[in-house]
Structure 1
Amino acid sequence: MISNASSSPESNSTAHDCDVLIVGGGPAGLSLSIALAQAGFSSIVLDQQPASALADPAGDGREIALTHPSVQMLSRLGSWQLLAAHERGRIREAHVHDGPVEKRAGMHLDALGSGLEHLGSIVPNAALRRTAFAVAKGCERVRILDEAKVLQVTTSRHDASVEFRRGEQPAQTLRAPLVVAADSRFSATRRQLGVGAQMTDFGRTVIVCRMRHEQPHLDIAHECFGYERTLAVLPLPDDPQSGQHLCSAVVTAGTAEANALMALSPEEFTASVQSQFDGRLGQMTLHGERHAYPLVAVYADRFAGHRFALLGDAAVGMHPVTAHGFNLGLASVARLTEALVRARDARQDIGSSATLQRYAPAHHRHAWPIFQGTNAVVRLFTDARPLPRLLRRIVLGGANRFPPVKAAIVQQLTGKLPRLSPPSPGVPHPHLPSQ
């Protein structure tokens, strides 16, 4: 049993197994355990997967775009340093296209004026999971329980408890001053804690895969809104074995069309993507498997209560179009850790409602505008009616010509407010062909 020195004197600390119980061993939950350990807290992470899957996760096709503040945080946690060179890609520019890619590039974003060379980074989701597990496993104050099926999560005046079973062993119960739900956007822990969530089912499916291509991508990400189907092309480092150029293709379509795309042969699917991207990267070939995921955005009714907090996708599960999901998860790690440190330093109960109110409202103020803005973008750019199409052109054209709008987006990605320098009339963007 791990004694707890962080809870208030009146709590029954001798019955506590650690400071914080974390349900969910994904990158958000594991990152929290590392951050807590660095701050002097002990934690136990429960995950239903076996240790082998946590240590070496299978590729799932997802590539995670990271802002500069997120990279800085991963560096502080120690997981960024464990990534291989070919797992650390960068996004120098982002181009947003309204309609077919060959007709119009509606908005261009770059890091010019911010003092940085690129907008952000891109890392495979499996690599983020692997490195987070490796660091957490090496932390003295972190205990990871694999193959742990959580049966019940409850809270009381003095503690939170998690009942679980591992394999054929009898059910066991752990207690701590605080429990954190970090078990996905469809969190069973959130439901057991009595917290509802606003769920937006877009009725669409996202297909993700890697593709080889002839022409270099120049570290430019493209988002191509094709009304019925959206295509994102994300730059990846070259294949470390063959040296061939690689990108991530993200196709979003109605569920019926997505099923049809998944049923295509690799050659037919590749031809479809290459055609929608107007052959800009030359000949393309599928590299690996395609993966399909239903698109459901989630926003919890509360992020915290007495003895519990929600983290990562359990709090906010984003639509991937604006690439804010894991970045918000890391932001919630930082805010929750800070709130617990402040409570401990003031000799206050780390699981009390008062303590957790330092976390929940701040994270809500940060996440809510991004969540609503992302959903609004999705609705606007997937509506093929004439009026929304006209509005899209106005929005993209206005953003491209109004420097403060682009500066606000760049600041969100880089953590720095760029110096505004509107382009001179008639001078093309330095990295783009004249339209």
Structure 2
Amino acid sequence: MDTDIIVVGGGPAGLAFARQFKNSRLHVTVIEKAPLESLQNPAYDGREIALTHLSREIMQKLGMWQRIPENEIYRLRDAKVYNGTSDYTLHFPEPKKARGGATDRLGNLISNHNIRRAAYEEVAQMNNVDLRCGVGVKKVETSTNQAIVELENGDKLTAKLLVAADSRFSQTRRQLGIAADMHDFGRTVIVFRTKHTISNQHTANECFFYGRTLALLPLEEHLTNCVITIKNTHAHELLDMTPEQLAQEAQKMLKGKLGNMESAGTVHSYPLVGVHAQKFYSTRSALIGDAAVGMHPVTAHGYNLGLESTDILAKLILQAEQKGRDIGEVGLLEMYNVKHQLHTRPLYHGTNAMVTFFTTDHAPVKLLRDATLRVSNNLPPLKKLISKQLTG
């Protein structure tokens, strides 16, 4: 074999997975189509990632957390959900510690480019990881004995295991013949930072307005990342605006709850598509990150699930290697599939159902949406269950 594990995709999930093998005897090759410069100095892309306490623990173990500037790790104290024009909120307060006493946050917010840079800096120091950047994958195939990856430059690599981490639109997943449930919400996500005169109280807000959804992710006390989802047919109404006009639009949607708002950066947009693979493995191959599960951003669980996938799969591989077993055997991959599916499948379908419910604007549903928030607010077991999902 040319290497033990080939990882297709050098994004934050692919690099975090490679980092799991520091100080092991396994050799990992990461294939990334983008140039090396994009890994060394990733550009800001507007995405602020909400990280659970479990994700923080995994990132600390991998040395990634320590590489992120302390002043760019933002506290997420609590969260509130609004329906329509009502001021009534479903409130998820900061959680309690196991032995009593409040913590000071539900989780943390970190910019995606900072996570990517931290992952790269850790992997770049590893002698058992090769980064092959600036070249794409042309073809992948697997057999009972090996995985073969043909690159666009004609090179071929063989490995004991192939791992796909090349986005929710993964071509590797398609070539492996793994089917996936793809849910196109028919909406566009528009993200931008704003400064404002009234404190955000380090509180995340999810506002299900009619025709639009606005999420507010608190960074500094007077700096918030705004995430608007809108039907594709109306996206141009916002994308044609200047950054300052967009900030004023957000202020109007919020009825001035954050005071005067102004633009604090660039505007970015993305198609809103959710993905869940029917299974997370095939012959000598596995899916991690968004190639396995690409979540709707409303629960902010995307990268959290990606990190969990790297942690589960890497632990199984390392245990097998220590026992002298085949790291690409079907039993190992099936165990990974079962463990990760148990958490992701109900969360994925539950999130999609919730989003569909809260973005349906027919009159009877509007009333039911409001009633659902009020009932949920008064059911402590349900709120506790949701809070545990939010905090990981």
Same fold by TM-score greater than 0.5: yes
Deviations 1:262-309 (A, max 9, x none): 101333222210011121111111111111111010111220022000
Deviations 1:318-350 (A, max 9, x none): 110111100000110111012212322332211
Instruction: Kindly indicate whether the alpha-carbon contact (under 8 Å) linking 1:219 and 1:235 is maintained by their aligned counterparts in 2.
Output: yes
Task: Indicate the residue corresponding to 2:165 in structure 1.
Answer: 182
- Aligned-pair distance for 1:85? 2.2
For structure 1, list consecutive stretches of 5 or more residues without a partner in the other structure: 1-15, 239-244, 416-435
Task: Indicate the residue corresponding to 1:4 in structure 2.
Answer: none
Deviations 1:160-183 (A, max 9, x none): 011114xxxx51111110000000
Task: Indicate the residue corresponding to 2:323 in structure 1.
Answer: 346
Is 1:157 equivalent to 2:159 in the alignment? no
Structure 1: distance between partners of 2:25 and 2:201: 43
SS in 2 for 1:372: helix
Task: Indicate the residue corresponding to 2:242 in structure 1.
Answer: 265
- Decide which of 133, 144, 147 is 1:146's aligned counterpart: 133
Is 1:95 equivalent to 2:80 in the alignment? yes
SS in 1 for 2:266: strand
- Decide which of 78, 86, 89 is 1:106's aligned counterpart: 89
Deviations 1:4-60 (A, max 9, x none): xxxxxxxxxxxx122210000000000000012255432110001111111111111
Equivalent residue letter for 1:49: A
Structure 2: distance between partners of 1:35 and 1:266: 40
Deviations 1:193-212 (A, max 9, x none): 11121111110001001111
Moved more, 363-372 or 385-394: 385-394
Structure 2: distance between partners of 1:22 and 1:28: 10
Structure 2: distance between partners of 1:338 and 1:85: 29
Moved more, 253-262 or 339-348: 339-348
Q: Which has the larger radius of gyration?
A: 1
SS in 2 for 1:354: helix
Q: Structure 1 residues 268, 155: closer, same or farther in 2, change over 3 A?
A: same
Instruction: Kindly indicate whether the alpha-carbon contact (under 8 Å) linking 2:207 and 2:215 is maintained by their aligned counterparts in 1.
Output: yes
Structure 2: distance between partners of 1:412 and 1:127: 24
Q: Residues 403-414 of structure 1 correspond to what in structure 2 (within 5 A)?
A: 403-414=380-391
Is 1:71 equivalent to 2:56 in the alignment? yes
Structure 2: distance between partners of 1:411 and 1:116: 14
What value does the CA root-mean-square deviation take over the aligned residues? 1.3
Equivalent residue letter for 1:394: A
Q: Structure 1 residues 237, 267: closer, same or farther in 2, change over 3 A?
A: closer
Instruction: Kindly indicate whether the alpha-carbon contact (under 8 Å) linking 1:29 and 1:45 is maintained by their aligned counterparts in 2.
Output: yes
- Aligned-pair distance for 1:138? 0.9
SS in 2 for 1:52: helix
Aligned residues: 388
